[in-house]
Chains A and B, each alone.
Chain A
Amino acid sequence: MKTVEVTDLRKIFRRPLKAEGFRGLLKFYLNPSYDVVEALKGISFNAYKGEILTILGPNGAGKTTTLKILTGILHPTDGSVRVLGYNPRKREKDFLSRIGFLSSQRRFAEYMGWDLPPVDVFRLVKAIYNIDEKTYKDRVKNFVDLLEVEETLEVPIRKLSLGQRAKIEIITAVLHHPEVLFLDEPTLGLDVVAADILRNFIVDYVRNTGSTVIFTSHYMKDVESLSDRLIIIDRGRIVFEGEIDEIYRKFSKFRKVKFIMEEEVKNPPFEELLEYHEGNELSYRVSIGKTREFITGMISKYPVRDVTIKEQDLEDIIKTVFRGET
């Protein structure tokens, strides 16, 4: 079942241009100038119930703009958007009760209760969505256990670490069990452990509620461990839409082959393919289709103790294929 439908979505911004220094400031005062940025150039996509969809792209690609339009924060310049059958720009009460949004900065709990503990902020969320006491308590307990934040509940938010705050913020975004949850870079700035807990929480949430999650990210780890489907946006256009496997199938050109040799290697063979060399470790970038032949060649000629084969990094593929970087 489709929960989100986006057709030919466009967004144009006008930005003030201020030149450097006092002269630039004076010039802006007397004759302000602006430029026009086309943040989204007619993108179309759908999302489905129970799906985790990632919007991936570099800074300024249009990811956050897309989320802000889908949540009704921004009005599109052109195109059509439907979320759970609603037009987000109308900000109908019923629509807002059924979605959740976590922005990447200046979030709800931090804004509301910097000096107060998370439990006070949760109470506000309970009141906003009119959640009954029992459901509220059950959900808080469940989320707090899953995110491992029990000891933070009565500590002022300003005293919490970035990771703890991120976990509290996600609770404020899902306490009302939204049917569509929008997350803007949910793991931004988190350490490996906190990011992992947050990812598991999102997967668990979708599994238990059947909600749709649309999230933006820079991190491949997020994409690899969460996404059912992926949209890559670059300069306001969708450059790829599909499953991650499809990216590997279509665009992966290399595999990473790592050898641990029996002894230290001074002059590694196949230098043209070599990516990394230290002591008895050698790492090569080998074209798909030639991997077997390459490994066999290595094993037959040199004293190999161990071999590991890895797919090309998703980040690498995206950089090379979609941005022309090497």
Chain B
Amino acid sequence: MRKYLEFAIFEYKYSLRYRANRIFSVLSDILRFLVFFFLWKTIFTLRGTGWGYTFNQMATYYLIVTFLQSSTPVCWSEFSTFIRTGSMANFLVRPVNIYLLYYFRVAGSKLAYISTSLPVTVGIFYFFNRYFTHPHGIFSIFWMMFFWLAGGFIYYSFTYLVEVLGFWFEEVSGFSTIFFLIQEVLTGAIIPLDILPGRKLLELLPFKFVAYLPMQIYFGRVNTVTILENAVILILWLTVVSSVSVLTLKKGLKVYNAPGG
């Protein structure tokens, strides 16, 4: 595991180079949060209620979900380029698991993002305290982090699977665009899943683990039994998705023609 941590540290350092880019990433997240904040403020003003949420809960939901969503590891789109151009050969000849290696690389770069965005998010929460709701308890923070971290690995695996299609297709950006459009809804990043129709079906999918479920735990809207049930479901998804990811890479390598010199 140490070698993968070294890659995470490497990417962390690498990502810290672009100060301006990091600042603008955080600014774009603040902007996104403000859009949702004022949208829901208007809805609450016109409608009076918010489908079982108070306005403060809704504001908290978008503040934290925006942070979690941007901090969740996503397999870089360069991965399919990495396959297409033959750069992957540099890693195939070394004793590393490419699936894990990329996860740690992405996680390292996300950590660099978090080191800027977390103080900003906490600052907004602290200075505009009157608009936000506090967590239900210390355990809710623990479970929240557990689901976000493990769910983040599942989420990474899905994006990885999209990129691994690069073994069979020369260009995968079309698949990637579709996936990112759909996941915005499925994670609950745009609207909390319990407000959407087909909630039962959406809750069966693993995307809720990175945004919607952690927030339900934060608000104390999920009891211990449901948390444990979800933990079992998460482990099942984790097993299935990581097995499929490993298998797909193996299959892909069989048809790989490692272009370039």
Contacts and interface: CB of A to CB of B under 8 A. Distances in A.
Interface of A: 13, 64, 68, 71-75, 91, 93-94, 96-97, 99-101, 103-108, 111-113, 115-116, 120, 123-124, 126-130, 182, 184-185
Interface string B85-105: 111011111111000000000
A260 to B, nearest CB: 43
Interface of B: 2-3, 5-7, 10, 13-14, 17, 85-87, 89-96, 253-254, 256-258, 260-261
Contact of A112 (B10, B17, B89, B257): B10
A111 B87 contact: yes
A322 to B, nearest CB: 22
Nearest to A15: B257
B67 to A, nearest CB: 27
A242 B6 CA distance: 44
Given A124-B6, A127-B7, A72 B95 contact: no
A89 to B, nearest CB: 8
A81 B178 CA distance: 42
A100 B89 CA distance: 12
A104 B261 contact: yes
A51 B6 CA distance: 34
B95 A129 contact: yes
A101 to B, nearest CB: 4
Which 9 A/B pairs are nearest by Cβ-Cβ distance?
A: A127-B6, A104-B261, A101-B93, A96-B95, A127-B3, A108-B90, A106-B87, A93-B95, A105-B261
A304 B108 CA distance: 73
B261 A73 contact: no
Contacts of B89: 68, 71, 73, 101, 103, 106
Contact of B260 (A13, A99, A105, A123): A105
A103 B6 contact: no
A217 to B, nearest CB: 12
Given A91-B92, A120-B10, 20 more contacts: A64-B261, A68-B258, A96-B94, A101-B90, A105-B86, A106-B85, A106-B86, A106-B89, A106-B90, A108-B90, A108-B91, A111-B87, A111-B90, A116-B13, A124-B6, A124-B7, A127-B3, A127-B6, A127-B7, A128-B3
Contacts of B258: 68, 73-74
6 contacts: A71-B89, A101-B89, A113-B14, A123-B10, A129-B94, A184-B261
Given A71-B92, A73-B93, A91-B92, A130 B261 contact: no
Given A75-B253, A120-B13, A106 B94 contact: no
Nearest to B3: A127
B95 A128 contact: yes
Contacts of B92: 71-73, 91
Given A68-B258, A104-B261, A106-B86, A116 B93 contact: no
A13 B6 contact: no
Residue of B17, B94, B253, B258 with most chain A CB atoms under a 10 A cut-off: B94
B132 to A, nearest CB: 38
Contacts of B257: 13, 74
Contacts of A115: 14, 17
A185 B7 CA distance: 28
A94 B94 CA distance: 10
A127 B10 CA distance: 11
B233 to A, nearest CB: 32
A73 B3 CA distance: 21
Nearest to A39: B257
Given A113-B14, A184-B261, A123 B6 contact: yes
Nearest to B170: A16
Contact of A185 (B3, B94, B261): B261
Contacts of A182: 93
Residue of B5, B17, B90, B93 with most chain A CB atoms under a 10 A cut-off: B93
B31 to A, nearest CB: 28
Given A105-B261, A106-B260, A127-B3, A99 B93 contact: yes
Contacts of A104: 261
B93 A72 contact: yes
Residue of B2, B3, B17 with most chain A CB atoms under a 10 A cut-off: B3
Contacts of A128: 3, 6, 94-96
A71 B5 CA distance: 26
Contacts of B253: 75, 91
A228 B17 CA distance: 46
Contacts of B3: 127-128, 130
A243 B170 CA distance: 42
A121 B256 CA distance: 26
Residue of B14, B90, B91, B254 with most chain A CB atoms under a 10 A cut-off: B90
A103 B13 contact: no
A74 B7 contact: no
B10 A96 contact: no
B101 to A, nearest CB: 9
B90 to A, nearest CB: 4
B249 to A, nearest CB: 10
